[in-house]
A and B are shown apart, each in its own frame.
Chain A
Amino acid sequence: MSKFKQIFSYSVLILASVISIFPFLWMIVSSTNKSVDVTKGRLLPGSHFMQNLTNLLDTVDVVSALINSAKISIITTVVAMLIASLAGYGFEIFKSKSKDILFNFLLLSMMIPFAALMVPLFRMFGSISQTVSMIGIDTLAAVILPTVTTAFLIFFFRQSTKMFPKEILEAGRIDGLTELGVFFRIYVPTMKTTYAAAAIITFMSSWNSYLWPLVVLQSPEKQTIPLLISNLGSSYSPDFGVIMTAIVIATLPAALLFFIMQKHFVAGMMGSVK
Chain B
Amino acid sequence: MIPAKANQNLQTTKSGRKIRVKNAAIGWSFVIIATVMICLFYFYPMVQALILSFQSGTGTNLTFTGIDNYARLFKDPTFITTVKNTVIYLVIQVPVMILLALFLSVLLNNKTLKLKGVFRTAIFLPCVTSLVAYSVIFKYLFGQDGIINIMLMKVSFISEPIQWLTDPFWAKIAIIIAITWRWTGYNMIFYLSALQNVDESIYEAAKIDGASSFQQFFKITIPMLKPIILFTSITSTIGTLQLFDEVMNITKGGPGNSTMTISQYIYNLSFKYTPDFGYAATVSYAIVIMIIIFSIIQFKVAGDKNE
Contacts and interface: CB of A to CB of B under 8 A. Distances in A.
Direct touching of A and B (C-beta under 8 Å): yes
A220 interface: no
A45 interface: no
A242 interface: no
B263 A113 contact: yes
B168 interface: no
Contact of A193 (B129, B146, B196): B196
B60 to A, nearest CB: 11
B61 interface: no
Interface in B96-134: 103-104, 107-113, 116-134
Contacts of B131: 208
Contacts of B5: 178-179
B106 to A, nearest CB: 9
Nearest to A156: B231
B277 to A, nearest CB: 6
Interface string A88-101: 01110111100110
Interface string B35-58: 101100111111011001000000
Given A41-B146, A159-B230, A259-B117, A99 B27 contact: yes
Interface in A95-110: 95-96, 99-100, 102, 106-110
Nearest to B125: A24
B270 interface: yes
Contact of A116 (B7, B43, B128, B280): B280
B226 to A, nearest CB: 9
A111 interface: yes
Contact of B41 (A102, A121, A274): A121
Contacts of A152: 235
Given A113-B263, A265-B120, A163 B194 contact: yes
A120 B44 contact: yes
Given A13-B107, A20-B122, A251-B133, A197 B295 contact: no
Contact of A119 (B123, B138, B277): B277
Contacts of B146: 41
B284 interface: yes
A229 B24 contact: no
A247 B133 contact: yes
Interface stretch (B63-71, B151-159, B286-294): B286-294
Given A197-B193, A240-B136, A96 B27 contact: yes
Contacts of A12: 103-104, 107
A130 B136 CA distance: 42
B30 A90 contact: yes
Contact of B27 (A26, A84, A90, A151): A90
Interface stretch (B77-85, B181-189, B252-260): B181-189
A182 B27 CA distance: 13
Given A155-B231, A271-B200, A27 B108 contact: no
Given A1-B112, A86-B30, A243 B132 contact: yes
Contact of A258 (B3, B45, B121, B263): B121
B34 A106 contact: yes
Contacts of B170: none
A202 to B, nearest CB: 12
B126 to A, nearest CB: 5
Contacts of A155: 231, 234-235
Nearest to B145: A41
B213 interface: yes
Given A41-B147, A180-B3, A230-B132, 12 more contacts: A5-B213, A13-B123, A20-B125, A22-B137, A23-B134, A90-B27, A111-B238, A112-B46, A115-B263, A145-B41, A159-B228, A266-B196
25 contacts: A13-B104, A19-B181, A20-B123, A24-B133, A27-B129, A99-B27, A110-B291, A111-B288, A111-B292, A113-B287, A116-B281, A116-B285, A146-B42, A154-B34, A160-B193, A178-B6, A179-B3, A193-B193, A197-B189, A197-B190, A200-B189, A201-B186, A244-B133, A255-B125, A267-B196
CB-based closest 8 A-B pairs: A94-B27, A90-B30, A116-B284, A17-B122, A109-B42, A120-B45, A87-B34, A149-B37
Interface of A: 1, 5, 9, 12-13, 16-24, 26-27, 30, 38, 41, 83-84, 86-87, 89-91, 93-96, 99-100, 102, 106-113, 115-117, 119-121, 123-124, 145-149, 151-152, 154-156, 159-160, 162-164, 173-174, 176-183, 193-194, 196-197, 200-201, 204, 208, 226, 229-230, 233, 240, 243-244, 247, 250-251, 254-255, 258-259, 262-263, 265-271, 274
